[in-house]
Amino acid sequence: MQQFDIVILGAGFGGSLTALLLDRIGLSVALIDRGTHPRFAIGESSTPAAGYLLRSLSEQYDLPQFQPFCKYGTWQQDYPDLACGIKRGFSYFSHEPHQQFEAKPRHASELLVTANLSDSLAETHWYRADVDAFFTEEVRKSNVVYLDQTEVMLQQSEDWEITGTRKGEPVALQAAFVIDATGAAGIVPNALGIEPQSKFLTNSSAVYGHFENVVPWAEMLEQSHVDRSDYPFDCDHAALHQVLREGWMWQLRFNNGITSAGFVLNGDQQTEVGEEAWGQLLECYPSLAAQFAGASLVAPEGGLVSTNRLQRGWKKCAGKNWALLPHTAGFIDPLHSTGIAHTLCGIERLVDSLKRCWGKTEMKQAMCDYSESIQVELALIDSLVAGCYRSLPHFDLFTASTLFYFAAATSFEQLRCDEGRKPLFLCADDSHFRQVVRAWLDLVSPCQDRNDCDATDVDQAIERAKTLLKPWNRVGLFEPAIPNMYYYTAAPESEPR
């Protein structure tokens, strides 16, 4: 039986990066994965916060090979063979059922929020098949023992015993500590009988896949003679959101010709699954139907993925000798592209705790603190996303709801870059901000029914949003020179601390 300080289950980018960081601080590590790379995965859209966090980790732990992933320009320069997409920011377009998309005066059906100053400084969409394979290849080059194609079972006593098979051969490992990076599989909490989290404000499901030959949305707008001269960037160079009555659709373009696309549906809107659901939604929105008329699904091999409710979580995220990475600890919704940054934020905090407390009595309290921090962050993401869903019937109100996320993201970025602080993700440790987000959620909840709010109600709510967000409005939210066109909102380009 091989002995390790730490065994990590799950070799996505999060599990692989954690293994490399722990190896850097002198712990013996094994990384186990039931599959192989490359493979289809989503969770692809990065943000400025993710770039800052990855750059900080790669500098602190001397892993320079990950520096280029922080910006589109350096990625293209150093790793041109790894597919990615350029992300200048977030773009949103509001659709009405059975109508062609209409650009309304004062951009009342459009919202573009810039996150960076240029293409070279842009964030990226991670084509996860390539990126995850790169991270695991770096693991292979390190001191970490990497076992793919391995099925395991866990037993916990004073230490962990991990037994199983790899390619028909028995595997047996012993570890003082286990980290679960398996995502929804949740091997460790299931083995320990941890109670699932069941109360969420957000209720959404999804159907998604990877496609070829999706017409760029900018081209669709051009065919409809929509004036794009006010746009701060190419609307396809973004996490593009098609905002619908039932929910929304994401579109993320990669430079290998593939587009990641998925419908995310609010509440109980989804009545069909897979291709039937996909076809019904396209039929309902003719501009999207035209955009996908010549598209073909290229991944996953089994066809479109159709989910049940997306929201999941655990009531405990760590113990004295185990911890869950954020994506295993819980998931809310892809609306605000929080996944990559939240994973990196959790990795940073967990590795730092293990570095400080390994072999010490302080470990138990450190893991309690880590568990609580992840749960507080997930609860805030839940509130931010739920506010947007409850605002869907009124695009002006939806726009205001997104600004609560952008206020949180830019405040988090500036606290790290300008003040050298390390707040919880999206400033989740700010109790006043959490209260403000919940107050906004309560305010917009009556507007879930389109007929319960008129234009005056919406205008009054937006004025209230301005007042609520004033302490965290560091980048001129609500006050763009051109309505709904934000030319730069990210924290200044500076070195992380």
CATH number of the domain at 170, please: 3.50.50.60
Q: What separation, in Å, do the N-terminal and C-terminal C-alpha atoms of the chain show?
A: 41
Of the chain, the percentage scoring pLDDT greater than 90 comes to: 91
Q: How confident is the model at residue 489 (pLDDT cuts 50, 70, 90)?
A: low
**How much is the average pLDDT of 6-31?**
98
Q: Does residue 386 lie in a domain region?
A: no
Contact 326/313 with Cβ under 8 angstroms? no
Residue 496 lies in a domain: no
For the stretch 76-133, pLDDT in tens is 999 999 999 999 999 999 999 999 999 999 999 999 999 998 999 999 999 999 999 9
Higher pLDDT, 352 or 494: 352
Same domain, 28 and 169: yes
Question: Do 255 and 236 form a contact (C-beta atoms < 8 A)?
Answer: no
**19 and 109 belong to one structural domain:** no
Beta bridge partners of 306: 207
- Beta strand residue intervals within 157-304, DSSP E: 160-166, 169-180, 204-212, 239-243, 247-253, 258-266, 296-299
Residue 461 phi/psi, 5-degree rounding, is: -65, -40
The whole-number average pLDDT for the span 444-448 is 90
pLDDT value, residue 420: 83
CATH of the domain at 234: 3.30.9.100
Write down the pLDDT at residue 490. Answer: 57
> Is residue 9 a contact partner of residue 32, using CB atoms and an 8 Å limit?
yes
Query: What pLDDT score was predicted for residue 447?
Result: 87
Average pLDDT over residues 155-173: 93
Domain that holds residue 248: 85-126+203-306
Identify the CA nearest to 101 among candidates 250, 231, 252, 226: 226
Residue identified by tokens 């073909």 is 296
Model pLDDT, residue 392: 95
Residues 164 and 152 sit within 8 Å (Cβ to Cβ): yes
Instruction: Tell me which DSSP letter residue 475 carries.
Output: S
Give the whole-angstrom CA distance, residue 4 versus residue 23: 11
Chain mean pLDDT for the chain: 95
Q: Following DSSP, what letter does each residue of 399-456 receive, concatenated?
A: HHHHHHHHHHHHHHHHHHHTT---PSGGGTT-HHHHHHHHHHHHHHGGGGSGGG--HH
Q: Which residues of 47-85 are buried (b: 16+ CB within 10 A; e: fewer)?
A: bbbbbbbbbbbbeebebeebebbbbbbbbbeebeebbbb
Helix-helix angle 339-357:48-60, to 10 degrees: 30
Distance CA 336, CA 342 (A): 11
Mean pLDDT of 391-401: 96
Residues 164 and 190 in one domain: yes
Asked if the structure places residue 215 within a domain, the reply is yes
* pTM for the structure as a whole: 0.96
Same domain (yes/no): 10, 65: yes
Residues 71 and 152 in one domain: yes
Last residue of a domain, one of 255, 275, 306: 306
Residue 375 lies in a domain: no
Tell me, yes or no, whether 211 and 326 share the same domain: no
Q: State which of 265, 285, 306 marks the end of a domain.
A: 306
Alpha helices per DSSP H over 3-159 = 13-24, 48-60, 72-78, 128-140
383 occurs within a structural domain: no
How much is the pLDDT for 270? 53
Residue 487 pLDDT > 50? yes
Asked if 147 and 275 sit in the same domain, the reply is no
Do both 136 and 266 map to the same domain? no
Phi/psi of residue 260, each to 5°? Answer: -85, 130
Is residue 433 a part of any domain in this protein?
A: yes
Q: How far is CA 62 from the centre of its chain?
A: 25
Rounded distance, CA 354 to CA 23, Å? 12
For residue range 207-260, what is the model confidence (pLDDT) as tens digits? 999 999 999 999 999 999 999 999 999 999 999 999 999 999 999 999 999 999
Q: Stretch 354-364: mean pLDDT, rounded?
A: 96
State the average pLDDT over residues 420-437: 96
Q: 350 burial class (0-12, 13-18, 19+ CB within 10 angstroms)?
A: buried
Q: How far apart are CA 48 and CA 67, in angstroms?
A: 14
Number of structural domains found in the chain: 3
Return the pLDDT at 277.
Answer: 87
If asked whether residues 135 and 71 sit together in one domain, one would say: yes
Q: Of 255, 277, 306, which residue is a domain's last?
A: 306
Percentage of residues of the chain with pLDDT beyond 70: 97
Answer whether residue 417 is part of any domain.
yes
Contact predicate 171/162, CB 8 Å: yes
Same domain, 112 and 180: no
Q: What angle do CA 159, 342, 136 make, to 5 degrees?
A: 60
Q: What angle do CA 117, 388, 226 make, to 5 degrees?
A: 55
Q: With 0-12 CB in 10 A as exposed, 13-18 as middle and 19+ as buried, what is 134?
A: buried
pLDDT the model gives residue 497: 32
Tell me, yes or no, whether 54 and 131 share the same domain: yes
Are 63 and 148 in a shared domain? yes
User: What average pLDDT does this structure show over 412-435?
Assistant: 94
Q: For residue range 346-358, what is the model confidence (pLDDT) as tens digits?
A: 999 999 999 999 9
Q: How confident is the model at residue 275 (pLDDT cuts 50, 70, 90)?
A: confident
Q: Are 112 and 238 in contact (CB under 8 A)?
A: yes
29 domain residue, yes or no: yes
Q: Where are the beta strands (DSSP E) in 312-407?
A: 312-313, 318-319, 322-324, 330-331
